[in-house]
Amino acid sequence: MSKSALVIIAQGSEEMETVITVDMLRRAGVSVTMAGLDGNSPVLCSRQVTLVPDKSLADALAEKPQYDAVILPGGLEGSDRLSKSDVVGTLLKEHEGSGKIIAAICAAPTAFVAHGVGKGKKITSYPTTKDKITSDYTYIEGERVVIDGNFVTSRGPGTAYWFGLSLIELLTDKEKAAQVEKGMIITGY
């Protein structure tokens, strides 16, 4: 059975980080649900691209309480909304407890701080959000993607290809990641 991933979007989420991640994981055969934090209505993202969620977060969790990965895209406003959501907080804590993959890119690792998950982990984030990552975490610079146990973090829209490849490798295997990398022509152009 294919692995499952839940990508949660909110008003102001970064659209390319969202779409690159969803698209790449689907290329790898992962069953991805793009869920709207506030319902299943179209979501206006950070650069005015409107994405239609597959379903609301409430419905996504009603159908399946645990996913193999929970993934938070960045965008300052979107990350702020994810940080303030009790539903997201509960979900992250449950997934942390069961050792499932928890991933965030750009400004979204600030939601880990807000919800108190991943303490003690090495993480990275968008450079200007560094001061929001408390000393409960070890902050890493100079890497596109940081993996520490089941926590995966990345820096910004321009590192999203490698965030996607890391998630594919963790959810499937190296061969599948290499196949998607080749198919997308990230290298070998």
Does residue 2 belong to the site contacting a copy of itself (CB under 8 A)? no
Does residue 187 belong to the site contacting a copy of itself (CB under 8 A)? yes
User: For residues 166 and 147, is the Cβ–Cβ distance under 8 A?
Assistant: yes
- What gap in Å lies between CA 130 and CA 58, rounded to an integer? 31
State the nearest-atom distance from the C-beta of 38 to a copy of itself, in Å: 16
Helix (H, G, I), strand (E, B) or coil at 127: helix
Does residue 109 belong to the site contacting a copy of itself (CB under 8 A)? no
- DSSP assigned state of 68: S
**Helical H runs in 69-141?**
76-83, 86-97, 110-115
The residue within the footprint of a copy of itself, chosen from 27, 55, 84, 122 (CB under 8 A), is 27
**Closer residue to a copy of itself, CB minimum distance, 27 or 122:** 27
- What gap in Å lies between CA 146 and CA 165, rounded to an integer? 12
**Closer residue to a copy of itself, CB minimum distance, 9 or 102:** 9
Does residue 47 belong to the site contacting a copy of itself (CB under 8 A)? yes
| Catalytic annotation present for 106 | yes
Give me 14's structure tokens.
């970064």
The region of 57-65, 114-122, 153-161, 168-176 touching a copy of itself under the rule CB under 8 A is 153-161
Which residues are catalytically annotated?
106
